[in-house]
Amino acid sequence: MQKQIIGYSVKNQPIELYFKNNEKAKFSILFLGGVHGNESEGFLFLERFIQEIQNHQISIPDKISLWICPRVNPDGCNVLRRTNANNVDLNRNLPTKDWTNHFTEPKYYPGPYPASEPETKATMVMVENIKPKFIISFHSYEMPMINYNGNCLDLAKKMAEYNQLEPKGDIGYPTPGSLGTYAGLELNIPTITLEILRGQSPDEVWKQHLDAVLSSLEFYL
Ligand SMILES: [Zn+2]
């Protein structure tokens, strides 16, 4: 895979975007990880995924272009903190119609205004430039699930055949300023928020999710 820097974090760390751009591709797919820096289950999975593509242990269909940003929030990932270095929850900072400055707990601080954070701007640049057919954002949660926003219940069900998690259209609490709302509902880019079981070991995560993720690559071909 090739690599480019798509932006810089608050602490000036590069936000890296890996890609395999195929000329014959019918469409692009975007995977994001590490939006919440304490959810290492997601970014470690994606980093291994990139490595196995590089080592030819995993092959990617030539009819797709694949873009992977494993650590959207590098400052948070480095210290395993949910928020970015300004204490902003990046999954509440996107400029959605329902964005609000109201928040119930410090960990959900949405920032001073929508898209105030450089990591959010980098996310928007990726979504706008890549124009993916769908997005999977890798998170973790005590209640694992395949959360889908936009027209992708069919894709969520296919992934569920492999990882045995339940597709859910609603995570169970409001998420204004989230990627699912921004991309999935407002830009009509189907978005899966894959909530991996929090605390699962990297090997268990890999075993449970690899085939589900691989199946997503083929799903719309
Ligand atoms: Zn999360």
Here the CATH number for the domain that contains residue 133 is: 3.40.630.10
Output the CA 99–ligand 1 centroid distance in Å. 17
A 10 A CB-CB count for 78 gives 15
Residue 181 is given by DSSP the state: I
pLDDT computed for residue 132 by the predictor: 98
Output the CA 84–ligand 1 centroid distance in Å. 12
Q: What is the pTM of this model?
A: 0.97
CA end-to-end distance (rounded Å), the chain:
21
SS3 140: strand
**Domain carrying residue 175:** 2-219
What is the spatial distance between Cα 9 and Cα 165, in angstroms, rounded to a whole number? 32
Q: Which two tokens stand for residue 59?
A: 């092959």
pLDDT computed for residue 172 by the predictor: 80
Output the CA 35–ligand 1 centroid distance in Å. 7
SS3 112: coil
Q: Are 130 and 189 in contact (CB under 8 A)?
A: no
Output the CA 159–ligand 1 centroid distance in Å. 19
Output the CA 95–ligand 1 centroid distance in Å. 18
Residue 172 is given by DSSP the state: S
Residue 173 above 90 pLDDT?
Answer: no
Q: Are 49 and 58 in contact (CB under 8 A)?
A: yes
Mean of the per-residue pLDDT values for the chain? Answer: 97
Residue 170 above 90 pLDDT?
Answer: no
What is the spatial distance between Cα 217 and Cα 73, in angstroms, rounded to a whole number? 24
Q: Are 62 and 148 in contact (CB under 8 A)?
A: no
pLDDT tens digits for range 182-212: 999 999 999 999 999 999 999 999 999 999 9
Output the CA 25–ligand 1 centroid distance in Å. 30
Ion ligand 1, residue ranges at CB < 5 A: 36, 39, 139
Buried b (16+ CB within 10 A) or exposed e, 15-28: bbbbbbeeeebeeb
Residue 171 above 90 pLDDT?
Answer: no
What is the spatial distance between Cα 48 and Cα 202, in angstroms, rounded to a whole number? 9
Domains of the chain: total: 1
Q: Which two tokens stand for residue 217?
A: 């690559």
pLDDT band at 27 (very low <50, low <70, confident <90, very high): very high
pLDDT tens digits for range 146-158: 999 999 999 999 9
Output the CA 36–ligand 1 centroid distance in Å. 5
What is the spatial distance between Cα 124 and Cα 207, in angstroms, rounded to a whole number? 31
